[in-house]
A and B are shown apart, each in its own frame.
Chain A
Amino acid sequence: MDTLLATIPYLGDWSLILAAIAGTAWGIMGGALPGISPSITMALLLPFTYVMDPSSAIVMLASTYVGAEYGGSVPAILINTPGTNSAAATVVDGYAMNKQGKAGLALGISLYSGFIGSMVGLVLLMALSGPLAKVALSFTPPAYFALGVLGLSVIATLAGDSMAKGLIAALFGLMIATVGTDPVSGANRFTFGNSDLLNGIEPVLVMVGLFALSELLAQAALTRDDQDRARSRPRIEFPDRKLARRLVKPQAIGSAVGAFEGVMPGAGGTIASFMAYNEARRWSAHKDEFGHGSPEGIAAPETANNTVAETAIVPLLSFGIPGSNSTAILLGGFLIHGLQPGPMLFQRSADVVHSLYAGLFISIIAMVILGILILPVCVWMVNRPRAYLNAFILALVMSGVYTIHEGLTDVGMLLIAGAAGFLMRVLRFPFLPTVLGLVLGYLIESNFRRALVLSGDDYSIFVGDWISIVLLGLAALFILGSFAARTLNFIRGRRSDRVPV
């Protein structure tokens, strides 16, 4: 309550309002450009904040993060390409709705869910920082390993028609994740002497290649314009009361998962959105719609990744520990202004903390307003003739990927990923397990090996604490459950339980 009262006066501060709006606009733009991750969007902005006063600088960077986490869903829905890692789960149902001519509604649902998720996240950040920080502190390497395995168990849902193909696709992702520096010894692996590969392959490159480039190639094979999709009206539609009521459940799931994943350093929005998607489907009354344009399939991951954008700030403020690349840049913003996030920040610079809260609130409002203004233009743009649109998308993703390191290696990797994606498409392999494997591979491997170094190669460490046991148990339950369901369906000769990608 005190926090709330202390925050309110800052809501009228014009410099904060301007910083929040500018940051959000910049964030939405960066998030919406495929290849530019939220952290890169923030890093590009960071030098401009050096000359600002500390509160405005921090607010601007945090608003950029909020905007970028939302912005990623726009290309996911409109051009079948997630703009950020955490928007990958939105692609499935978002693009399916777009193809049915309901792009305006899909964008409306994502904006509405983003708003709900951000608000829940902000309330948690303001009210429950202390208890949430304790959750982060209780996670040891074996618990992180268990969390990663639980994330991987979602493959069972994402695999689509064939479990074998889903597993192969996931394995492909896990293999890509091994490229780079060995997490324990520091030696090079699979870099072929190329120093550009030392930091590993950016998931965003692979994703843009798999989704966007392969989509462009597939569309080039179509003979007549727009055969495969209905045009959407360039207008954003928010869900009506009936639909809004239906979305409450997936949004509740999304915020719960997002709150949990957000506070844990290293986990982040991608796992949260995939798990939220998976759980929303499990508990949905309209399971069969998932994968074919279910509004719930957009609401769950978009609520989750926007909740993460707020709760990820908890470990940063409480311990000064950044949980992701994006919060690492935010930490940089604090340090440059001589502020040390951590337990003392609340006492020493309470004004900065309260203006951050106020700024986040303003940025959530700004996100909705900017969305309403920008989105119809975006829908209009994707309604242009296919040939122009696809050439534009190609130029957009190539330049986006080039900016990550300003190097051609990344562009080459993108083309390779595009070719692989086309091949996977032809052979009917799903993409999402690959993305999941790629994102989780490093988390799982590094924590698995770290745990074994800790225990001296004693494997009992993985069931040594309750968190690990519960998480591993859940994963086993999910895998066995889905296996049982598949077997049953097979016996009954029914194959309704599909999620094509």
Chain B
Amino acid sequence: MTRRTLVAAGLTLAALCPFVTVAGAQDYPVKTITLVTHSSPGAGGDIFLRDLSRFLGPALGANVVVENISGGSGATAVARVANSRPDGSVFYGTTPTFIYTTLLSEPEFGYDSLDPLVNVFFDPEVLYTAATGPFQSLEDVMTKAREGRGQWGAANPASLERQSLEMLKSVSGVNAAVVSHDGGGDMMINVLNGTLDMGVGEIQELKGQLEAGEIRLLAALTADRIPGYDDLPTVREAGYDVAVRKFRGIAAPKGLPPEVVAAWEAAIPRVLEDPEFKAIYEPDSLQPAFLDDEEYSQFIDGFAADTRSFLIETGVIQ
């Protein structure tokens, strides 16, 4: 309120401010790289970039900072990056959100106004139920839906999680309500109190409940079994042809110089091999999944095409 307090608080914060070290300059064209995310501080996308940035700095020979730009379901952050100079200084941390927002809202700058540069991780999605509930396996849940009516939960209305449940529903032909929520926590409560037969989420966000034995994993929505969870069957093994890939990667403004592309394509596999970085991402079951510029562009186009047909099928867009 008062100027005195403001100055005092400013000084306190300045004192706590982490200082940025200047890494030995190699041939990366700029000194500071900004990674832009639409995630708010502390959310999954933000933590991913902040962890990555610590190892990327030395690997690229530049300072790497993370900037959170909220608003517009991610559209504001995409617009900021799309309007930046393609000199290797500004990048966007991708998640499926930027494709959903583009397709649903058609903002001025969508996923197609960026160049998908490299993919870093796939974040495995799993199906789970309350440990105290009646369901022991995915088949139990499916049987209930086949014989009566299932109640399945997804964290957000326009999300890969919901899409995966709708796909499961359509390949199995069972009768289930797919209930979307205001985020994973909201849904977790409805799984724990038995309102929902099962929910879908990422291992990292389920960890607290999992370790406490409050929830039971039913199946993985990945193509192969998840390392570290080798007993958990995939949904495909259970006989339903559904697998999704929640990606975490980097996109750039269009027209990036080839040497910057090459620098990133060289840096990411090296960073992923770093034992210190492994110690951070492996407990969260993030799967290293490096894709280079060309592969990632194809991957994103394919993902967007699948998502578009899903949204049209479910009547969300025309």
Contacts and interface: CB of A to CB of B under 8 A. Distances in A.
Contacts of A335: 42, 47
Nearest to B72: A195
Interface of A: 22, 25-26, 28-29, 32-33, 43, 45-52, 74, 136-141, 181-188, 191, 193, 195-196, 198-199, 265-266, 315, 319-323, 328-329, 331-333, 335-336, 340-345, 374, 377-378, 381, 405-407, 446, 450, 453-454, 456
Interface string B26-68: 0000000000000011110011001000000000000000001
Contact of A199 (B73, B100, B162, B208): B73
20 contacts: A48-B17, A48-B18, A140-B195, A181-B157, A185-B157, A187-B317, A195-B73, A195-B101, A198-B73, A198-B75, A266-B182, A332-B43, A332-B47, A336-B50, A342-B208, A342-B209, A343-B214, A377-B1, A381-B2, A446-B182
Nearest to B5: A29
Contacts of A332: 40-43, 46-47
Interface residues of B, number: 66
A453 B151 CA distance: 9
Contacts, number: 185
Contacts of B178: 453
Contacts of A450: 179-181
Given A25-B5, A195-B75, A456-B149, A181 B158 contact: yes
Nearest to A26: B9
B185 A319 contact: yes
A181 B73 contact: yes
Given A25-B9, A186-B104, A43 B1 contact: no
Interface string B1-18: 110111011001100111
Interface stretch (B105-113, B114-122, B240-248): B105-113
A195 B108 contact: yes
B157 A183 contact: yes
Leading 3 A-B pairs by shortest Cβ distance: A332-B42, A342-B208, A186-B158
B234 to A, nearest CB: 25
B172 interface: no
A378 to B, nearest CB: 5
Contacts of A265: 185-186, 189
B13 A48 contact: yes
Contacts of B266: none
Most interface-central of B18, B43, B212, B214 (chain A CB within 10 A): B212
B186 A320 contact: no
B287 interface: no
Contacts of A184: 157, 180
B177 interface: yes
A141 B179 CA distance: 10
Contacts of A198: 72-73, 75, 101, 105
